[in-house]
Amino acid sequence: MPAPTGAKRATAADRKFVSALARGIEVLRAFGARDVWLTNQELARRTGLAKPTVSRLAYTLTRIGQLRYSETTNKYALGSAAFSLGLCALGQLDIRRIARPLMQALSEHARAAVHFSMADRLAMVLIDTYRTSESFVVDIGSRVPIATTSMGRAYLAALPDVQRRRLLEELRAAHGDEWATVKKGIDQGLRDHEEHGYCLGLGDWRREVHAIAVPFVPLDGWDPVVFGCSGAAFQLEPEVLRTQVAPRLLTLVGNIRSTLASQ
């Protein structure tokens, strides 16, 4: 997990920015979909904050219910208040409510997993997913890299130029010596989106996984969201993705756009 960048972007001249609040949120963001308990040391490593600072923040977050603390293991887990906040956020996503039956239908047709994701720094976070017993398992809340996945490339393709250039600079710094290879995949994804409206991921993230994704900007000024379909490479061959899955995924996004416009 890359070091957090959000709090570091704030400058001393930004008097409205509350650094203590930002650091507390960094602690909460340190938990991934598969992280149940984390130690103070693990939280410090993931956030880049000093251990004494993390201890004070974790204590405060525990007192207000955002974290739970185990005296037996000396570890922290997300608390009921954090779950409640997340469920409230999901409940306010009209897109998710509209998309769910469409995603389920596509998943059953393609016998693959269908995802709805949003960006968080250098990763795409799965907000919702449907899958069959045959499909590749990626759980809700999982994070996948922007640079090497179809969902991430679709997100990049939908960003305004200024934001895309800024994010590409962050990705370049994060990938170091691998950047030349990673950038080729991104450039191909941008060309695919310009020509066909979708982006592909053919084993770039995981060799055994093929995927396709389409971005959608819900309203003017909103960050793009992405819908994608992924599965085993032997099942979702490139031609299958292009000729069978792509038209249905594009139709799914089109139907969501029409439904939102009519509300």
Topology at the third CATH level for domain 6-85: Arc Repressor Mutant, subunit A (1.10.10)
The domains of the chain are located at: 6-85, 93-262
Stretch 254-258: mean pLDDT: 93
Topology at the third CATH level for domain 93-262: Beta-Lactamase (3.30.450)
Q: What is the pLDDT of residue 87?
A: 66
The predicted-structure confidence for 146-172, as pLDDT tens digits, reads as follows 999 999 999 999 999 999 999 999 999
Binning pLDDT at 50, 70 and 90, where does residue 21 land? very high
CA angle 127, 110, 151 (to 5 degrees): 40
Tell me the two tokens of residue 227. Answer: 């819908």
